[in-house]
Amino acid sequence: MESAMRQIVALLVFAFFAFPSQAPAQDGPRLSLAAVQASKDFKTYLDKTSAEKGQLDFSEPPGSTLFAAIFNSKAVEALPAPTSSDLPWLSEWLGVAASSYVGIINTGADPKGEPLQKAVQENVARYEDKLSVAMDFLLRLMPRMAIAADAFMQALPENERNIPARQQGMAQVRSGYMQTVSGALTFIGGGPKLDNARLLATALRDTVDVWSTRANAEERTQFLSLLAQARTRAKDPTVDDQLIAVSTAVAAIK
């Protein structure tokens, strides 16, 4: 999941500059701008906590308020359907959210000290609840960007749409999206807290019509295997119902 997030951060820089700005709707850009501004302070908070060898505190400011401004799933769900003109601010918001997610995972990790993987695993366990909220947000924002990017590309003249760099960027962003879905399924299959498993299973079901149709045959096969593993591990009727619906939707694609 972390590698997918790093890829998305890099590719969104490409996407933002490859797709020119247009006049956007009001709430989305305002929320995106607030997230971008909060992410700068959030990085300062992460760096300060790491330098002091402390732990992140999301129960009070600044951690709580900054996190809420970046990973605002309820606000995203209330937005109107995405259009091509939303692409610039969606790219910016998704970029800072992905970067902030990676920042939480790597807080206090020193590649020159203890094994990085051990520190990351400890952070995932320590901050599981917040990382689950962040992942839910990413799973809900990514479909909007995918739809907006498709609309933008479809509106272009064929010669502009087929520019190699633009096609490559779109393909790589799609790949990053698929890796995020895979990471969420792996997370559920790893036995997280029940509420977190339910949160992500619901997000995957709510967005399956977008991500499943963008997956290739090999990815869909992988997803079905991960879904089966997640169902076995979760052993919860609510999670099971959501994942069965997701599996059905993925398996129905020919």
The per-residue pLDDT for 5 is 53
How many CA atoms lie within 13 Å of 108's alpha carbon, on the beta-carbon side?
15
Interval 115-123 mean pLDDT: 83
CB 87 within 8 Å of CB 15: yes
Long-range contacts of the stretch 226-232 (C-beta < 8 A, 24+): 226/182, 226/185, 226/186, 226/189, 227/185, 229/185, 229/189, 230/185, 230/188, 230/189, 230/197, 230/201, 232/189
Q: Tell me the per-residue pLDDT of 167-221, one tens digit each, with 9 for 90 and over.
A: 888 888 899 899 999 999 999 999 999 999 999 999 999 999 999 999 999 999 9
- For residue 160, count other CB atoms closer than 10 A to its CB: 10
Q: What is the mean pLDDT of the chain?
A: 89
Model confidence band, residue 248 (pLDDT cutoffs 50, 70, 90):
very high
> Residue 3 phi/psi, 5° resolution?
-65, -35
CA 48 to the chain's CA centroid: 25
Residue percentage of the chain with pLDDT more than 70: 88
Interatomic CA distance for residues 212 and 166, integer angstroms: 22
The per-residue pLDDT for 26 is 62
Q: Is 114 helix (H, G, I), strand (E, B) or coil?
A: coil
In the block, residue with structure tokens 């990676």: 102
CA 160 to the chain's CA centroid: 28
The per-residue pLDDT for 24 is 43
